[in-house]
Amino acid sequence: MDLEMDDIDEQIAPPKSDKEEEFRPYYPEKVDEEGVITKTGLKKKLVKIGDGWDAPEEGDEITVNFKAKVVGGEQFAASAQGEPLVVIVGKDIILKGCKEGIITMRKGELSIFTVPPELTAGIQLQYPDIPQNATLQFEVELLSWYKVIDVCEDGGVFKKILSRSEVFERVEKKDEVTVKYEVKLEDGTVVAKSPEEGVEFLVNDGHLCPAIAKVVVTMRKEEKAILRVEPEYAFGSTGKPAQDGLSAIPPNAVVNIALELVSFKLLEYITEDMLVIKKITVPGVGFEKPNSGTTAQIRYIAKLADGVIFDKKGHDEEDLLEFKVDEEEIIEGLDKAVATMKRGEFALVIINPEYGYGSSETKTKFAVVPPNSILHYEVEMVGFTKVTESWDMEAAQKLEYAAKRKEEGNVYFKAGKYKRASLRYDMAAKYVEFESTFDEEQKKAGHFFKVTCQLNNASCKIKLKEFREAAALCTKVLKLEPSNIKALFRRAQAYMETIDLDLAELDLKKALEIDPDNREVTTQLLRLKNLRTFHDKKDAALYANMMKKL
- Distance, in Å, from the CA atom of 238 to the CA atom of 249, rounded to the nearest integer, reads 9
| pLDDT value, residue 353 | 96
C-beta neighbour count of 198 within 10 angstroms: 16
Calpha distance 231→235 (Å, rounded): 6
Nearest to 396 by CA among 424, 453, 437, 433: 437
In 10 A of CB 160, how many CB atoms? 18
H-helix or E-strand spanning residue 191: strand 190-193
**417, containing H or E segment:** none
What pLDDT is stored for residue 276 in this prediction?
Answer: 96
Q: Among positive and negative, which fits the CA dihedral 494, 500, 505, 507?
A: negative
Residue 1 confidence (pLDDT): 45
Query: What does the DSSP 8-state code read for residue 387?
Result: P
User: pLDDT at position 90, please?
Assistant: 87
Cβ neighbours of 128 (radius 10 Å): 7
Which residues of the chain, if any, have pLDDT below 70? 1-21, 536, 538-550
Q: Domains of the chain (ranges plus CATH)?
A: 33-145 (3.10.50.40), 149-264 (3.10.50.40), 270-385 (3.10.50.40), 395-540 (1.25.40.10)
Euclidean distance between CA atoms 144 and 121, whole angstroms:
27
Which residues have a Cβ under 8 Å from the Cβ of 130 and sit 6 or more positions away?
70, 76, 120, 123, 124, 136
For the chain, the distance separating the N- and C-terminal CA atoms, rounded to the nearest angstrom, is 84
Please report the pLDDT score of residue 413 as a whole number.
Answer: 94
Res 547: pLDDT = 59
Diameter of the chain measured on Cα atoms: 114
- Residue type, position 409, single letter: G
Gap between the Cα atoms of 436 and 453, Å rounded: 20
DSSP element (H, E) containing 497: helix 485-497
Strand partners, 279: 267, 348
CA–CA separation, 210 and 131 (whole Å)? 49
| Rg for the chain, CA atoms, rounded | 37
The amino acid sitting at 536 is D
pLDDT of residue 166: 74
The span from the CA of 347 to the CA of 350, in Å, is 10
Measuring CA to CA, which residue among 464, 466, 457 is closest to residue 486? 457
Summarize pLDDT for 87-125 with one digit per residue, the tens.
999 888 889 899 999 999 999 999 999 999 999 988 998
Spatial separation of the C-alpha atoms in residues 260 and 237, rounded to whole Å: 26
Distance CA(44)–CA(30), nearest Å, equals 12
Task: Give the whole-angstrom CA distance, residue 253 versus residue 246.
Answer: 15
The dihedral through the CA atoms of 202, 203, 209, 212 has a sign that is: positive
